[in-house]
C-alpha cells in the first residue's frame, strides 16, 4: 500500500501568503551565500538540505488522504480541498475517458472534510462511480452533500452530477471487505461524532483517525483506541493543538495534541505516527518546531521499538 497526502490542514485551507514565500526565499538566499551553486544539480542538492520549513511547505489543503492499493479502485479518506488536486492529477494522467471507481471513507461531515467535493472533477463525468462510506446515516451524509451544493452557495446541484454517487453506511466495530481492504471503524469524541478507520491488507495496517479528542486521564490499556491502533504500521492522527491549548482554552473542541498522540501510539505499539490536521494558525516553522519537540518526547520512552514520528504535508508519500 502507498499513502499519499493531498490535504493535511485542519479546519480551513491555509495557502502560503506572498510574505511567507518571500521570507522562505530570503532565508534560502542567505543560506546560499558563499556556496558554489553553478549547476542545476548543485542547486537541487542545496535545496534538499534546507530545513523543510524553508525549502518546502506542509501545505494548505484540508483533509484528504489517498491509500493506493492494487485493488483496482481508488481509496480516499475524506474529501476536503485536497481532493480537487487528486482529481486533477488523475485526469492529467488518464484523461476523462477512463472510468473509475472511488471509495471514500468519510470521518464526518464537517466542512473541512467535504469542501473539496464540488471541485472533484471526476464527479462530473458519467460512468464514474463514487461510493461514500461512513458511519453517520446514509441519508444524513447525502443531505449534507446536497446542501453543500445548493443554491445560492454553489451553482451546480449535487443531484445533477454525472457520476453515480452512492452513500454506504458502515457499522462501527464490524469488519467490511472493500476493494481488497479489511476496513473497521470506531466512533470518536468530536462534536456530532466522527469516525476513525483501520485499513488492513496483507498483514499491514493503516489507521486514519482525525478530528478526535483524547483526554490524558483515559490513557490506559483498556482504552478502546489502544486496541484499535494496536500494532498499526502507520497511524494518521489529529494532533491539531499544543498540549497547553488542549487542556485549557480548547478543551472539548474535539481535537488532540502531539503529546497525546505519542502516548497513545506508544501504548498501542504503533510503528509510525503521522501528525495530521494541522492547526491553520501554525506556519511551517511552527509545525516543524512541534515535530522536533514531539520526536524528542517520543525518544524519552525506553521501549526497544522506537516510534517513528513525522508530520503530514501535502505531497507526502509513505509506503506501507
User: CB-hemisphere CA count at 13 Å for 156?
Assistant: 11
Half-sphere exposure (CA, 13 Å, Cβ side) for 260?
24
Minimum distance of Zn ion from residue 123's CB (angstroms):
21
**Chain residues in the site for Zn ion (CB under 5 A):** 10, 110, 112, 211
Angle between helices 18-32 and 40-48 (to 10 degrees): 110
The grid coordinates listed for 51 are 530545513
b/e sequence 13-51, b meaning 16+ C-beta within 10 Å: bbeeeeeeeebbeebeeeeeeeeeeeeeeeeeebeeeee
* Shortest distance in whole angstroms from residue 205 CB to Zn ion: 23
Looking at the Cβ atoms of 110 and 214, the one nearer to Zn ion is 110
CB nearer to Zn ion: give 201 or 214: 214
Give whichever of 128 and 240 is closer to Zn ion, judged by the CB atom. Answer: 240
Please state, in angstroms and rounded to a whole number, the distance separating the CA atoms of residues 261 and 121. 35
> Shortest approach of Zn ion to residue 107 CB, angstroms?
8
Interhelix angle 284-300/258-267, nearest 10 degrees: 40
Backbone angles phi, psi at 159, to 5 degrees: -70, -10
- Least distance (Å) between residue 222 CB and Zn ion: 26
Give, in order, the Cα–Cα distances in Å from 121 to each of 54, 92, 101, 107, 305.
32, 11, 13, 21, 43
| Cβ-based nearer residue to Zn ion, 260 or 307 | 260
Residue with the three cell numbers 524553508: 54
Nearer to Zn ion, 9 or 201 (CB): 9
Q: Find the shortest distance in angstroms from Cβ 312 to Zn ion.
A: 13
List CB contacts of 208: < 8 A, sequence separation 6 or more.
Answer: 65, 77, 105, 107, 196, 197, 198, 199, 236
How far apart (Å, rounded) are the C-alpha atoms in residues 121 and 161? 10
Least Å distance between CB 197 and Zn ion? 15
- Smaller CB distance to Zn ion: residue 179 or 211? 211
CB of 78 to Zn ion, least distance (A): 8
Q: Which is nearer to Zn ion, 213 or 233 (CB)?
A: 213
Q: Which is nearer to Zn ion, 111 or 154 (CB)?
A: 111
Q: Are strands 317-319 and 2-7 parallel, antiparallel or unpaired?
A: antiparallel
CB neighbour class for 3 (10 Å; exposed up to 12, middle 13-18, buried from 19): buried
At closest approach, how far in Å is the CB of 250 from Zn ion?
Answer: 13
Q: How far is the CB of 63 from Zn ion (least distance, A)?
A: 6
Q: Which is nearer to Zn ion, 11 or 53 (CB)?
A: 11
234 forms beta bridges with: 206, 272
Amino acid at each position: 500500500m502507498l499513502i499519499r497526502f493531498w490535504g493535511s490542514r485542519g479546519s480551513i485551507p491555509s495557502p502560503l501568503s506572498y510574505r511567507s514565500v518571500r521570507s522562505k526565499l530570503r532565508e534560502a538566499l542567505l543560506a546560499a551565500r558563499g556556496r558554489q551553486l553553478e549547476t542545476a544539480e548543485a542547486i537541487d542538492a542545496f535545496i534538499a538540505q534546507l530545513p523543510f520549513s524553508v525549502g518546502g511547505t506542509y501545505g494548505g489543503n484540508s483533509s484528504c488522504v489517498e491509500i493506493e492499493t492494487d485493488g483496482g479502485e481508488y481509496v480516499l479518506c475524506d474529501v476536503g480541498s485536497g481532493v480537487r488536486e487528486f482529481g486533477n492529477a488523475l485526469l492529467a494522467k488518464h484523461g476523462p475517458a477512463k472510468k473509475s471507481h472511488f471509495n471514500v471513507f468519510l470521518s464526518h461531515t464537517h466542512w473541512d472534510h467535504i469542501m473539496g467535493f464540488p471541485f472533484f472533477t471526476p464527479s462530473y463525468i458519467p460512468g464514474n462511480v463514487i461510493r461514500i462510506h461512513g458511519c453517520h446515516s446514509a441519508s444524513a451524509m447525502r443531505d449534507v452533500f446536497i446542501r453543500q451544493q445548493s443554491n445560492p452557495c454553489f451553482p451546480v446541484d449535487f443531484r445533477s452530477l454525472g457520476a453515480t454517487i452512492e452513500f454506504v453506511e458502515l457499522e462501527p466495530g464490524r469488519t467490511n471487505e472493500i476493494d481488497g481492504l479489511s476496513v473497521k471503524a470506531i466512533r470518536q469524541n468530536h462534536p456530532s461524532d466522527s469516525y476513525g478507520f483501520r485499513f488492513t491488507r496483507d498483514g499491514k495496517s493503516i489507521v486514519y483517525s482525525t478530528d478526535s479528542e483524547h483526554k490524558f486521564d483515559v490513557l490506559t490499556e483498556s482504552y478502546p483506541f489502544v486496541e484499535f491502533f494496536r500494532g498499526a504500521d502507520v497511524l494518521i492522527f489529529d494532533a491539531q493543538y499544543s498540549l497547553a491549548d488542549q487542556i485549557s482554552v480548547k478543551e472539548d473542541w474535539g481535537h488532540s495534541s502531539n503529546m497525546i498522540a505519542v502516548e497513545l501510539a506508544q501504548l498501542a505499539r504503533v510503528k509510525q505516527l503521522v501528525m495530521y490536521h494541522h492547526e491553520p494558525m501554525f506556519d511551517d516553522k511552527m509545525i516543524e518546531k512541534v515535530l522536533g519537540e514531539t520526536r524528542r518526547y517520543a525518544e524519552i520512552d525506553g521501549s526497544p521499538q522506537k516510534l517513528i514520528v513525522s508530520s503530514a504535508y501535502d505531497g507526502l508519500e509513505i509506503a506501507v
